[in-house]
Amino acid sequence: MSTVPFDISSLGSEALMRLFQETKSHIGSVKIELVTNGKHSGSQQGPPAATTGVYTHRPTILLLESLDRERQIEAIAHELGHLLLVYRFGLGVVGFRMPHPANSEEVFRYHSRTRESWFDLLGQIPNTIHHSILVGYLEEQYGIRSAHHLRLLQGHFQNKRDEVGKDKHLSHARALVAFEYEALIGQVGEVIDFSRQVDPFREAYRSAQKHFGNYGSASIPSSSSYKQDVLSFLEDLGHLREDFLFFPEDPYAGKTDVQCHSMSSIYIDSEMN
């Protein structure tokens, strides 16, 4: 993947510049780079942008070069919205706590979670929660709509209407996307058949409704409430609360103490390389 620096001021959007400056005030620096040869560079279905460097406090937004001006503004605003929720509101990402070498039970649990589907689930948790807030927040505070994001969300289930997950963690992640669909678009039952979904999908969907159902642009949770809700969600799925940490706010979430999924706006069946 090749990238070149991108000048956000070239888009001529006063609203985007206000959002950019607000985000920088909570982080210090945000880089934006144009991806010149990404594998989705000509795709209308793939994610238009992604963010790296959240854990090092040096975030870089990667933007596809194929986007027109309107979609560039929306894509950058979307990623800045994620960063604002992490750094201003404390809605950080969740990762695995590294086990104590002398605790064989912790070591076993940790290594049993190295499958990619586990990281898909951990990545989808903050994505879904952030999306349920930032879509309304960006429009209300900055007048920036999330039309392309909503089209991607709608297309996710239109393309996979009858898919039934066999992997438990992917089913949990897909349930979170279904919860997001219901929150932002409505009536997810019209695009998927709940009777055909496996038990892990249904339990994760019910738990997301229980713990995240009141989230929105007008009801952004405190950092502590968010963490407790995420841990309760994971506990509902059969996991131990003490196995997880949050970043970047958790003082014990240093590089040697936590393993996390990269932060981006990518759905569980898409990736940007």
Q: How confident is the model at residue 130 (pLDDT cuts 50, 70, 90)?
A: very high
Q: Is the pLDDT of residue 266 over 70?
A: no
How far is the C-alpha of 126 from the C-alpha of 248, rounded, in Å? 13
How many of the other CB atoms lie within 10 Å of CB of 135?
A: 24
Q: Can you give the length of the chain in residues?
A: 273
Angle at CA of residue 24, ends 96 and 37, nearest 5°: 70
Q: Indicate the domain borders of the chain.
A: 70-78+90-260
Residue 117 is predicted with a pLDDT of 64
Please answer whether residues 41 and 64 qualify as being in contact, where contact means their C-beta atoms are separated by less than 8 angstroms. yes
- Residue 40 tokens read as 């989705």
* pLDDT, tens digit (0-9, with 9 covering 90-100), for 194-217: 888 999 999 999 999 999 999 999
Angstrom distances, CA of residue 7 to CA of 143, 168, 180? 21, 42, 32
**What is 181-212 written as a DSSP string?**
HHHHT--GGGTS-GGGS-HHHHHHHHHHHHHH
The residue written with tokens 């898409």 in the block is 270
* pLDDT, tens digit (0-9, with 9 covering 90-100), for 6-24: 999 999 999 999 999 999 9
How far is the C-alpha of 249 from the C-alpha of 232, rounded, in Å? 19
* pLDDT, tens digit (0-9, with 9 covering 90-100), for 74-94: 999 999 999 999 999 999 998
**Three-state SS for 191?**
coil
Q: What residue ranges in 30-153 does DSSP mark as E strands?
A: 31-35, 49-52, 60-64, 93-97
Burial class (CB in 10 A: 0-12, 13-18, 19+), 233: buried
Please answer whether residues 252 and 245 qualify as being in contact, where contact means their C-beta atoms are separated by less than 8 angstroms. yes
**Least confident interval from 90-99, 155-164, 230-239:** 155-164
Dihedral angle over CA of 181, 262, 39, 62, nearest 10: 90
Residue 100 is predicted with a pLDDT of 61
99 closest CA partner among 86, 85, 114, 109 = 109
How far is the C-alpha of 253 from the C-alpha of 169, rounded, in Å? 23
- For residue 57, the one-letter residue type is H
- 64: number of CA atoms within 13 Å, CB side? 23
Residue 40 is predicted with a pLDDT of 46
Residue 120 is predicted with a pLDDT of 85
Residue 47 is predicted with a pLDDT of 77
